[in-house]
Structure 1
Amino acid sequence: MTNLIRRHRRGLAATLSIAAAFALSGCANDSFAEQYAADAEQGYVAGDGSWEVFSPSERAEPVSYEGEIESGDTVSSADYAGEVVVMNFWYAACPPCRIEAPDLEQVNQDFADEGVNFLGVNVYDQAPTAESFNAEFGITYPSILDVDSASVRLAFSDNVPPQAIPSTLVIDQNGSVAAVIRGIADPSVLTEMINTVLEEQAA
């Protein structure tokens, strides 16, 4: 785990390149590739694939947030006090978000019994679109619908710049950001990040 921390600000460029190549060649005739091309023409810029891990002494103050999820209920940082949260910033028409969705759900399932909570932050869509995405990709965790207020995005703006969608954060038991992936979340890297935070609690 120390090695992961030392590899501060290391990129996932290879993973991102492979995924992008698959989307543009292997699926060249479907609406997914067409959407990717359209987004690129409109100035769409995904996260650069870099990631950072912060040791406990490097972490900023806990971040407070609150928002309405697809069901209409409100969730907040207080609901997850003392637990690890994996927060993914996304929207339905974002091609990299579609690529990573099955992996995120698998990691969610892998940690379901270990006190790790997955929470999406949808930066663009309303509930029906988000729910359709969840059904298509089998997503079982909720997402805050942040399109109207952008309050959650603002709260985490130091870690998730506007162009870095998707981005995924690992938030420790104190509510501080312990790790960030800007771009497609590689499941093996995300898993190691989560395990690192869980081991801190056990130590």
Structure 2
Amino acid sequence: MSRTSSRRISLTAALGAATALALTGCASSGSAGGDGSVGFITGKGGIDTAAVGHRTDAPDISGTGLDGTGTLRLADYRGKVVVLNIWGSWCSPCRAEAKGLQASSEKFGDKVQFLGINTRDTDPANAVAFEKNFGVTYPSIYDPDGTQILKFPKGSLNPQSIPTTIVIDKDGKLAARAMHALSGEDLDKMIEPVLAESK
């Protein structure tokens, strides 16, 4: 098989997986939780958590910021709790949770880093308009084809729908996940136990 054919097959597989993720997206239920056999449990409200010692490393997420300037890297926030939100401007549940995410980012301030991954917006201007409309001030990586999302290992607290919100501990490990629109209160309940580990 030629190198070009191999590259084309890999690209086709990646795009197919991104499409499958997108088709499950904008679901309002977070019922696809885990069980003890994979090291995480589903709690109330469809929030999956992994205990310290049973967490998977977050993948090497990076990409151009929505503002088009510079590269954002998840690894740059090692040592801090990170809230990673996967969203699209076309997604109704993403619109429903946007103000709550922003409010939580302001509430936790420098204690927690918020970072978005914008996906399936073919024109970044739509995503920028979304952020402006909802007053979102934390940065987002522009990932229109889902390349960064596909880096999450299967069987971990990986995203399987849009929106998905993942809390990453200070050691860069996947600690909690919700695969539905979150209220500010539910988001705080995801963040606070992981933040408390840092003390």
Q: Is 2:52 the partner of 1:71?
A: no
Cα pair 1:167 1:185 within 8 Å, conserved: no
Which 4+ runs in 1 deviate beyond 3 A?
Answer: 42-45
User: 1:160 and 2:159 equivalent?
Assistant: yes
Structure 1 counterpart of 2:105: 108
Per the TM alignment, residue 105 of structure 1 is displaced from its structure 2 partner at its CA by 0.4
- What's the CA shift for 1:198? 1.3
CA 1:55–1:169: 2 relative to 1, 3 Å: same
Q: 1:117 to 1:43 in 2, by over 3 A?
A: closer
2:29 maps to which of 39, 43, 48: 48
Say if 1:97 and 1:176 are closer, same or farther in 2 by CA, change over 3 A.
same
Residue aligning to 1:134: 131
Deviates most, 123-132 or 42-51: 42-51
* Secondary structure, aligned partner of 2:130: helix
Q: Deviations over 1:32-66 (max 9, x none)?
A: xxxxxxxxxx9865152321111112211242111
2:65 counterpart letter in structure 1: I
Which stretches in structure 1 are left out of the alignment for 5+ residues? 1-41
Q: Structure 2: which 5+ residue stretches go unaligned?
A: 1-22, 31-45
Structure 2 residue identity aligned to 1:56: V
Do the aligned partners of residues 133 and 157 (structure 1) sit closer, same or farther apart at CA in structure 2, a change above 3 Å counting? farther
Q: What CA distance in whole angstroms lies between the structure 1 residues aligned with 2:131 and 2:80? A: 24
Q: How far apart in 2 are the matches of 1:45 and 1:142?
A: 21
Distance 1:97 1:127 in 2: 16
> Is the alpha carbon distance of 1:157 and 1:131 closer, same or farther for their aligned partners in structure 2, counting shifts above 3 Å?
farther
For 2:147 and 2:90, how far apart are their aligned partners in 1? Answer: 21
Question: Are 1:191 and 2:172 counterparts?
Answer: no
Shift of 1:83: 1.0
Question: Structure 2 vs 1, CA of residues 195 and 144 (structure 1 numbering), >3 Å: closer, same or farther?
Answer: same
Percent pairwise identity: 38
The letter of the residue matching 1:96 is P
1:98 match = 95
Q: CA deviation at 1:193?
A: 1.8
Counterpart AA for 1:48:
S
Q: TM-score, normalised by structure 1?
A: 0.72
CA separation of 1:43/1:151 partners in 2, compared to 1, >3 Å: closer, same or farther?
A: closer
The count of aligned residue pairs is 157
- The C-alpha deviation readout for 1:68-124, integer Å capped at 9, x for no partner, is 11122211122111111101111001000000000010001001132x111111111
| TM superposition score normalised by structure 2 | 0.73
Counterpart of 1:147?
Answer: 144
